[in-house]
Amino acid sequence: MKPSIHPSAAVPRQWRRIAGRMVVVLACAAVLAGCSTIRGWFGGDEEKKAAKRASEPAELVDFTPSASVTRIWSASVGKGEDRLGVRQAPAIADGRVYAAAVDGGVRALDLQTGAVLWHYRSDLRLSGGPGAGDGLVVVGGLKGEVVALDAATGAERWQAQVPNEVIAPPVIGQGLVFVRSNDGRVSAFDAEDGQRRWFWTKELPSLTVRGNDAPVLGPGLMFVGNDDGTVAAVSLADGRELWDLPVAQPDGRTELDRMADVDGTPVLDGTVLYASSYKQSTVAIDAPSGRPIWASDRGGPGRPGLAIDRVLVSDRNGSVWALDRSSGGAVWEQPGLARRNLSGVAVHGDYVVVGDFEGYLHWLRLDNGEFAARQRAGRAAIKGAPVVADGILVVQNIKGDLTAWRVQ
């Protein structure tokens, strides 16, 4: 009987040594190939760093100021909004600044000096407002409370209730107080006694940008920017909707892509209404008829500002744009504040002003958009648009601090 032979025993010893060496060579080649792959994995570090840098806020660059800006006073009005995202801002009327805090009530201050004229103390978490006009100061709360105060003394005149939180300043005019709540409703109250006269509502999209702003009043009409990207005209007499026009189309593959909120108060000048959308669109509309005049693909979530011949907007990417008022064409762009979470804009003399997430205020020249001045209004973010009256700019940061500025 022949002995059994293992297959490897049939292979000559030298061939087995050669095969073993080949296995080692192939294994090394595989390791080297793997090393190349690993280098590919970690070789993207610089690309990742570059991508990270591209997503970070733009660094502020030095420049030679061409305007002289002076802080004339500062004050605290209580605990601010912090991370609520309600974009609190002061109201100015008849030489007074009215400001509310989430925790701290409402204060009236002298516009020229910052001296406190009265203080309405409240345990309510006051988030929306204030609005001021016709002898009233009105503010809303996080639980839908509405409080009307005497503008001269701060004495409470009446209280009312709406179904949802109020994060927009109420509007006062033509014998009514208009309160926008965060459920898409605008309620009209009698300015004398707070009785509700009517309400108008707009259905909300499933996903919206946090925040909304006040309506703007015209003769017999109220104009409201909506979370679905439209502007509506509503009769002041009975709350009946007269027209509805898109500022931006809520298109895209996802709910995030489709967000087109008109979150800044539209601006009415004569018979022309200007509105801007989070989806980077701005329109001019003939207000009485709702007929579009022009549309631009530059825009943003904050309030637009108006100068003599141009419309000013800050977009969600951090660029500030000047648009021609007659055509909507871009006059200039200032991209130097990219990703700095800009506030809405204000026009301050020959300059446009925006605030940013680090508490800086930036003055840009109206004629060409160049940086003219920069000042810091504390170290907290500025989310509400600055307000200008009698040549003085007043701004409130998210900690509840007010500062007032003059520009030469």
DSSP string, 71-116: EEEEEE-SB--TTS------EEETTEEEEEETBTEEEEEETTT--E
d(CA 367, CA 351) in angstroms, rounded, equals 8
Q: What is the pLDDT along the chain (408 residues), one digit of tens a residue?
A: 334 333 443 444 444 444 444 444 444 344 444 444 444 444 567 666 666 667 899 999 999 999 999 999 999 998 888 877 778 899 999 999 999 999 999 999 999 999 999 999 999 999 877 999 999 999 999 999 999 999 999 999 999 999 999 989 999 999 999 999 988 899 999 999 999 999 998 877 555 566 678 899 999 999 998 888 889 999 999 999 999 998 877 767 777 776 767 778 999 999 999 999 888 899 999 999 999 999 999 998 888 999 999 999 999 899 999 999 999 999 999 999 999 999 999 999 999 999 999 999 999 999 999 999 999 999 999 999 999 999 999 999 999 999 999 998
In order of 174, 181, 224, the CA distances from 178 in angstroms are: 10, 10, 11
For 237, the 3-state DSSP assignment is coil
pLDDT at position 240: 96
Is there a contact between 403 and 353 (Cβ–Cβ < 8 Å)? Answer: no
pLDDT at position 255: 73
Q: What pTM was computed for the model? A: 0.85
pLDDT at position 202: 86
Query: Phi/psi of residue 308, each to 5°?
Result: -55, -45
Look at the block and give the residue holding tokens 């707070």. Answer: 194
pLDDT at position 234: 96
Spatial neighbors of 359 by CB under 8 A, at least 6 apart, are 376, 377, 378, 379, 380, 381, 382, 397
Can you read off the two tokens belonging to residue 128?
């929306």
Other beta carbons less than 10 A from residue 158's beta carbon: 18
pLDDT at position 15: 40
Query: Phi/psi of residue 139, each to 5°?
Result: -140, 150
pLDDT at position 5: 37
Burial class (CB in 10 A: 0-12, 13-18, 19+), 149: buried
d(CA 355, CA 346) in angstroms, rounded, equals 10
Instruction: Give residue 250's identity as a one-letter amino acid code.
Output: P
